[in-house]
Amino acid sequence: MVIEHNLDVIKTADWIVDLGPEGGSGGGEILVSGTPETVAECEASHTARFLKPLL
């Protein structure tokens, strides 16, 4: 398990659990979990917005 914000690491992961939608009291919910391709399709995920163009 790795806690990471580097998209080069995220895009090569086998499985991602994306928490959000924000940090602190505005987050902590699982928005999506799955492969990078699955995460990239989640409209609620800030990570997806930046990950999708890299895949």
pLDDT of 2-54, one tens digit each? 999 999 999 999 999 999 999 899 999 999 999 999 999 999 999 999 999 99
Q: Full-prediction pTM beyond 0.75? A: yes
pLDDT in tens, 16-30: 999 999 989 999 999
Number of H helices, E strands in the chain: 3, 2
